[in-house]
Amino acid sequence: MKRKHNVLDTEESKLSSLLFKRSNKFVEQLDEKKEDENLDQKPAWIDEDDDNFRTNAVIPKVKSDGPYSLKLKQKFETLIGTPQWAKITKVNSGEDDSDILKSVGHLGKRTSTKFERKILEFKGSTKIQPQKAKRGLLVPSIEFHPKVSAVLFGGSTGIVSLYSIGEEENKLHGFKLKNWFISSAQFNPDGTVAYISSKNQHNYCMYDIEKAQSILVQFPQVVKRPHIFKLSPDGKYFAATDCFELVFLICAKSRELLRTLKNNTKVQSITFSNDSKHLYCFNEEGVVTVWDLFTFRSVKKFYDNGCVTAARISMSPCGRLLATGTGEGIVNVYETAGITSYNPVPLKTISNLQTKITDLKFNPTSEILSVVSSYYPNAIKLVHIPSYHVFSNFPTQNMDQVETVSFSPNSGYMAISNNKSCVNIFRLKHFKNY
């Protein structure tokens, strides 16, 4: 029996080190996907000996008392993914998708729950402190992993931390970039690499998630210290700017400068279209310039209605909506198909905040728009799309001065950082998956 335990210990160590090359660091995926309640699937074969092996008996340091076979199954799905033969094919209910659901990018109609426009159903927050708890330290960047239940934090002291997300939050890996004020951290589409930048450095960091290794890559010479650094949704381009007139487009693969896009005035914020074919540049006077990334030409310009000083711009993942935020706390939401003139009329104007918009983001299903101003305590609003009602029950606790908001790939989790070096993670109950 002792020999059998040794074999199982070796197998467990190999599985753990495969993803992060750090034995006994990677914790089992805690956010289990729930099967459809209407399905009654039975296994074709059951090994009665599986129940005799408990996780805490095989791995002494693990507190879980569940079957060891279940732990191995979760490990396999985390590292490799669910095999095609094991995936359950969903049966079409025969009902047509509503126009609203189609417009915000849903793949199918939800029949189990209704997303209420006034009340946000969420589970109480879990607090994580990626940096030492000192007043004034910030976590300007939060990015959820696109494939597994993990989240990456980038701090103002240069600390990069990767945590697992689920019933427990455990640190998987971390490192520090000396003299860095991290302003951006973004995963490539398959989640193998994270790109990290600082507004006071002439290079960016490539963080290999599988090898747990980081290397510094120098920007092209013309790019000095980019205050804004964005990765396109398809992972092919970087757009960088020092908040002057020039925006530099860089090839993510070759790391070479592709083109310099010259705007008329200083650029305050940029966003890619959801298909990565266009780049929207929001300049300080409130004019949005749309660049075609195939011809590298300006194809459209329009003025943000009522804008005095520009602050933030964000494209919805469905590609249908474009949001702009100003220095006066006003947010305009436009329908991209309706921007046909220099003075388009917003679909909706949101004026719940009175200070400069510092963070503006849609959730992955384009059903929630988060609006943040870090200049005032608890200045965060979550807006329901498409009704544009602000959820009245959030926040329910003191959030201090909010820095940024991020959503997991299927919106099951929402992370919010503040000026106290703290990240609050909420479970959004309406969304069933991570």
Return the closest-CA partner of residue 36 out of 92, 95, 94.
Answer: 92
Q: Residue 18: how many CB atoms within 10 A of its CB?
A: 15
Given this model, what pLDDT does residue 290 score? 98
Given this model, what pLDDT does residue 144 score? 98
Q: State which residues of the chain have pLDDT below 50.
A: 1-40, 90-112
Given this model, what pLDDT does residue 421 score? 86
Given this model, what pLDDT does residue 415 score? 97
Determine the 3-state secondary structure of 186 from DSSP: strand
pTM as predicted: 0.76
The answer to whether the beta carbons of residues 10 and 3 sit under 8 Å apart is: no
Given this model, what pLDDT does residue 280 score? 99
Q: What angle do CA 162, 371, 366 make, to 5 degrees?
A: 75
Between helix 68-79 and helix 2-20 the angle, nearest 10°, is 20
Q: Read off the tokens for 57.
A: 């008996």
Return the closest-CA partner of residue 298 out of 257, 245, 346, 243.
Answer: 245
CA distance 167 to 210: 23
Given this model, what pLDDT does residue 137 score? 74
Greatest alpha-carbon pair distance for the chain in Å reads 76
Q: Read off the tokens for 373.
A: 């101003």
Given this model, what pLDDT does residue 171 score? 92
Given this model, what pLDDT does residue 169 score? 84
